[in-house]
Amino acid sequence: MQTHILGYPRIGSKRELKKACEQYWSGKILVEELLNTGRNICNQNWAIQREAGIDLIPCNDFSYYDQVLDMTLTVGAIPTRYHEVALKKNNTELDLYFAMARGYQKEGLDITAMEMTKWFDTNYHYIVPEFYKNQQFKLNSDKIFNEFASAKQAGINVKPVIIGPVSYLLLGKEKEEGFDKLDLVQNLLPVYIEILTKLQEQGAKWIQFDEPFLALDLTEKAKEKYEWAYSEIRNKFPKLKFIVATYFDGLKDNSSLAVSLPVNVLHIDLVRNPEQLDKILNTIPETLSLSLGIVDGRNIWKNDFQKSLSFIKKAVETLGSERVFIAPSSSLLHSPCDLDFETGLNPEIKNWLAFAKQKVQEVVTLKELANGTSDENFLAKFAENKAAIASRKTSPLIHNEAVKQRTSAVTEADSRRKNSFKIRKEEQQKALQLPLFPTTTIGSFPQTAEVRNWRAKFKKGELTAEQYDTLLKEETERTIRWQEKIGIDVLVHGEFERNDMVEYFGEQLNGFVFTKNGWVQSYGSRCVKPPIIFGDVSRPNPMTVYWSQYAQSQTKKWVKGMLTGPVTILQWSFVRDDQHRSETCKQIALAIRDEVVDLEQAGIRIVQIDEPAIREGLPLRQSDWQNYLKWAVEAFRISSSGVEDTTQIHTHMCYSEFNDIIKNIADMDADVITIECSRSQMELLNAFADFKYPNEIGPGVYDIHSPRVPSKAEMVELLRKAQNVIPADQLWVNPDCGLKTRHWDETEKALIAMVQAAKEVASVLVEND
């Protein structure tokens, strides 16, 4: 039996890489210092794994920005627009690399960054390779060889990790018509062969190919490419040992393909898809070993040793101990680094957790236990583990009978508004008296340095609660006055009291806990610190009523209440794994429902429940979509259905690719949905038009992600386009998303123009009446 790790977090246990990168980008440190930070992190990571006793430690899992971009640079898939950057005489390879990641605006050049997108269903984002017809590749970077060499120097037996050729191509985007990216595999493979040749010369014995697409829906053509690529590789390197790593879902219909690849070890994700073990064990050829991904690489819970040992036992019975490998389910990139830093956590909760460093130890302990160790140390760990798992099952910190009863008593009626949208629309019109093309914003107004500074001072005790409250009230009132002045129809309070749209709610709900240092890489130097949902969720007190009510008391216009929806809260947290996600989501939904009802009671007539993360929760396999959408939509409906017909429910999503899920979006039955639309020039509204979406829509008329101020004429043009496909009495006018990252001056100019645009379009309509 052998242990291995697919990849280790590379941000550094104190986010050293983030800090060094940002300092390098702003010219505060030289490249040598950045490289030094990188080397130190690698050495630390290797040391942690070696000391724990891992047999096969990865290298090339480190990256200064993104592992897919590393591969792009390595195989020379550098889009021509960056060639000039490479030619500038003081630029290093790393400068070219960062230009691809982040764009390049200096020395008279203005080059856009490469596109970034989500890494499967994680919150990590990778840089999308760009492919062209007949593209040629060539070995273009020594990064992987350098990393291998420094591991060797440190005396570590490392296994270089490379994104497999088929997954690499599938991750990319065709930037011109008339070819299929998969056909580039013929041109790409020689570079892989060159890389492997060099690594073999350097002394590498093992290579890990990440092929996550083997766990996704594959076309016949992709399957053929897998067969072809791996038989070529095997033919050229009869002696190298290859691991093909799959993760994030089960192999399912691709199992026979996966087990037939001529490699040495196949890694499967038994956390996401434990069911696949039996099928694989039944079909695996004698030449193949199996790596069991049993320690969750993507969540923060302690492994259940007893359960894992039963998997290992089963595999050993069929394959023999020699052919069994033990590993985390995926790269540990998606876990925070080290639980030891969490000195402030409730010790009982802390005892249920394991971060990357602890997961490495778990893998080793599992191997020892599976081998029947008599070492006291490991046996004690087993006993501790059993106790921790048992305490999670019964702890009153987790289990709240009242919450469980309430969720199980939810009926269909709880997820239905009193009447249909048609009736509600009339009622709401009577009650709210809004004009045609009503204007609103998505919730947040600029979180200036000043506002953030107040919060920081308040947290440090440099401002009293009263002082902080007064400052926020002044800012809120100013924002209300200003919205009144420029003539916005539905006002917002501005969200100045909020740090983050999930954290703000998590901090006020039971069942959540926050870490001090539980950072996970989101993209490049950007890290997030997701809340941990450890127990049954309930709402001890109203969460937003104070601010919404205060804002409403300042104006005769309607102020929209502002909440984060249950699916988004779930999606952006570490979620408990002792019950189905849908159950946790339902508990959150009920808490939000109570908040919506309380807002209504407090005189708030319009409430927005943001669900920007509904789409990203979609399972990787299309066959699982409907099941997810069913409970996700139901959760939203539970949260929004406690109110009277006259209360208008809005939702907001930060995207507008709705083609494939438009029916489910309509099922959410929000009275108004605001979406992103300006970047596609309203094209994406077609999904709504084709579906004859019945409720109201606010297609964003300007892009808030850029400081650019749009003109009134542009927005009029977009509204006309929208009007061509959606009846005017269904349309709202709003920006794409919240304004919290913008400055006040651009926000003021843009919103004034937006209100004028709405008025212009509305007046034409009234004249034509």
Q: Using CB under 6 A, which of 12, 165, 336, 443 touches ligand GLN?
A: 443
DSSP per-residue letters across 415-446: GS-SS-HHHHHHHHHHHH-PPSS-BB--SB--
Nearer residue to ligand GLN within complex by CB, 10 or 740: 740
CB of 433 to ligand GLN, least distance (A): 24
Q: Using CB under 6 A, which of 160, 612, 617, 710 touches ligand GLN?
A: 612
Kindly state whether residue 501 participates in binding ligand GLN, applying the rule CB under 6 A: yes
Nearer residue to ligand GLN within complex by CB, 642 or 738: 738
Kindly state whether residue 654 participates in binding ligand GLN, applying the rule CB under 6 A: yes
Nearer residue to Zn ion within complex by CB, 608 or 695: 608
Which partner from the list Zn ion, ligand GLN, none does 443 bind, CB cut-off 5 to 8 Å by kind? ligand GLN
Kindly state whether residue 610 participates in binding ligand GLN, applying the rule CB under 6 A: yes
Kindly state whether residue 444 participates in binding ligand GLN, applying the rule CB under 6 A: yes
Q: Which of residues 551-570 bind ligand GLN (CB under 6 A)?
A: 562
Q: Using CB under 6 A, which of 652, 658, 750, 757 touches ligand GLN?
A: 652
Residue 731 three-state SS: strand
Identify any residues that bridge with 559 across adjacent strands, giving them in sequence order. Answer: 491
Stretch that binds Zn ion, among 43-51, 404-412, 473-481, 732-740 (CB under 5 A): 732-740
Q: Nearest Cα to 175, choosing from 72, 67, 70?
A: 72
Q: Which of residues 648-667 bind Zn ion (CB under 5 A)?
A: 654
DSSP per-residue letters across 548-602: HHHHHHT-SSEEEEEEE-HHHHHHTSEE-SSS-HHHHHHHHHHHHHHHHHHHHHT
334 has catalytic annotation:
no
The CA-based angle 722-422-732, given to 5 degrees, is 30
Identify any residues that bridge with 130 across adjacent strands, giving them in sequence order. Answer: 173
CB of 447 to ligand GLN, least distance (A): 9
CB of 502 to ligand GLN, least distance (A): 10
Q: Using CB under 6 A, which of 442, 590, 599, 670 touches ligand GLN?
A: 442
Binding residues with Zn ion: total (CB under 5 A): 3
Q: How many CA atoms within 13 Å lie on the side-chain side of 609?
A: 33
Which partner from the list Zn ion, ligand GLN, none does 740 bind, CB cut-off 5 to 8 Å by kind? ligand GLN
Nearer residue to Zn ion within complex by CB, 537 or 606: 606
Stretch that binds ligand GLN, among 255-263, 549-557, 677-685, 736-744 (CB under 6 A): 736-744
CB of 675 to Zn ion, least distance (A): 8
Identify any residues that bridge with 162 across adjacent strands, giving them in sequence order. Answer: 209
Q: Which of residues 593-622 bind Zn ion (CB under 5 A)?
A: 612
CB of 736 to Zn ion, least distance (A): 7
Kindly state whether residue 739 participates in binding Zn ion, applying the rule CB under 5 A: no
Choose the catalytic residue: 267, 399, 705, 743.
705
Kindly state whether residue 737 participates in binding Zn ion, applying the rule CB under 5 A: yes
Kindly state whether residue 425 participates in binding ligand GLN, applying the rule CB under 6 A: no
CB of 363 to Zn ion, least distance (A): 39
Q: Nearest Cα to 291, choosing from 385, 360, 208, 356?
A: 208
For residues 335 and 359, is the Cβ–Cβ distance under 8 A? yes
Q: Which residues contact 453 (CB under 8 A, 6 or more apart)?
A: none
For residues 675 and 655, is the Cβ–Cβ distance under 8 A? yes
Q: Nearest Cα to 630, choosing from 684, 697, 567, 537?
A: 567
Q: Nearest Cα to 560, choosing from 606, 611, 623, 516?
A: 606
Alpha-carbon distance of 661 to 123, in angstroms, equals 21
Show the site string, 694-733: x = touches ligand GLN by CB under 6 A, - = not: ----------------------------------------
Alpha-carbon distance of 405 to 22, in angstroms, equals 49
Nearer residue to Zn ion within complex by CB, 520 or 613: 613
Task: Work out the widest C-alpha separation in the chain, in whole angstroms.
Answer: 88
Kindly state whether residue 740 participates in binding ligand GLN, applying the rule CB under 6 A: yes
Binding residues with ligand GLN: total (CB under 6 A): 13
Q: Nearest Cα to 740, choosing from 562, 524, 540?
A: 562
Q: Nearest Cα to 161, choosing from 364, 330, 337?
A: 330
Strands (E), 201-338: 206-210, 241-245, 265-269, 289-295, 324-328
Alpha-carbon distance of 264 to 288, in angstroms, equals 5
CB of 567 to ligand GLN, least distance (A): 12
Question: Binding residues for Zn ion, per CB under 5 A?
Answer: 612, 654, 737
Question: Binding residues for ligand GLN, per CB under 6 A?
Answer: 442-444, 495, 501, 562, 610, 612, 652, 654, 737-738, 740
Catalytic residues: 705
